[in-house]
Each structure stands twice: as C-alpha cells, then as structure tokens.
Structure 1
Amino acid sequence: MIRLSRHAVSRAAGAVRRVLEWPARVSAARRAMSDLARMSDYELRDIGLTRQDVFDVSALPLDQDPTALLARRRNAVRDHHEAPRLDRAA
C-alpha cells in the first residue's frame, strides 16, 4: 500500500482543483476582454486605459486574469499625470 503525506495529498488536490477551475478562469478572462473591447475610446480613457492596453492583454495566456496588467498600466499613467510639478513662476 502506498502512503502519501498530507503535503503530497494537498498538492495533488490543488492540481486537480486548478484543472477543474480552468474553464471558469478562461471564461471570466475572455468575458472581461470582450467587455473592454466593446468600450469606446472615450470609455477606456475614462477608466485610464487605451485601446493599445486592450490589445496588449489579448496576448496573455487564456486563463490569466487581465485585470492585474491593466491596473498596472492605469496606475502608471495616473502616477505620470499626478507627478509634482515645479513652480516656474517662483
């Protein structure tokens, strides 16, 4: 009889769970991409994104959530626009 450690059983269960959840992750990621692709340039700009950002996340793996990359892009733009300005009038 083969005896497996709790750690080995836990890792195996995690692997099975990831495989079973894969279709749901793909579906959610594709739905998010579809929603973004349907937005106008004005709507994308309103949330701090560009059409290029949407294009770029389409290169991600099927089951990877695009929100992390898009949040980084949005925050980079926001940080750039909110950088302190030097007062030249002084």
Structure 2
Amino acid sequence: MYSESIREFFDRNLPALTVVAAHNDYEDGPRGTAAFLLWPTVLECEAVEGAAPQDVVTAVREIRQELWGRRILAVAACDFEDELPDPPTTLVTV
C-alpha cells in the first residue's frame, strides 16, 4: 500500500518523538463515527524523555506536513492541536 520510503518515514525516530505506525483496530467501527477514526493506519507518537515541548510540537507539525505533501490525510489528537496548522483545503473532506 505505501512505498518503502513512507514506511521508513513512519518508523523513524525523530529527535523529539518516537513514531510507530500500526494497523487501526477500530477501522471497522460503528457508522456515524468521525471519519478519521475509521482510517486504516494510526501513528503513535510519544515524546522522547527530556524533549522540549516546542520540539514535540514541531515534530508533529513536520510529520503532518510530510504526510499532506504525499496527499495522505492526517489529523492529530493531542493537547496542543491548537498550535498545529490546519490541513490544506485540497485534502479536506466532508
């Protein structure tokens, strides 16, 4: 499904984050659920111990922008969502 380069991108460790890609066990969830909850892949991102909060925000921003640049929808569920940019309008779906 994804090219080798995207798998490498998903699995690499960023300076402020550890990132792991996994199958979304909820992709067959109930109807009426927010669309992103039904996507087939999730990225679990965890701050590296001692990482500065702004470095974590920057790393998540870079991940999303990398995915968007590859025309892959991505949202973040975190305490700092308001510090992240909105997706490009060309990727927004209703």
Q: What TM-score do you get using the length of structure 2 for normalisation? A: 0.29
Bigger proportion of residues as helix: 1
Bigger proportion of residues as strand: 2
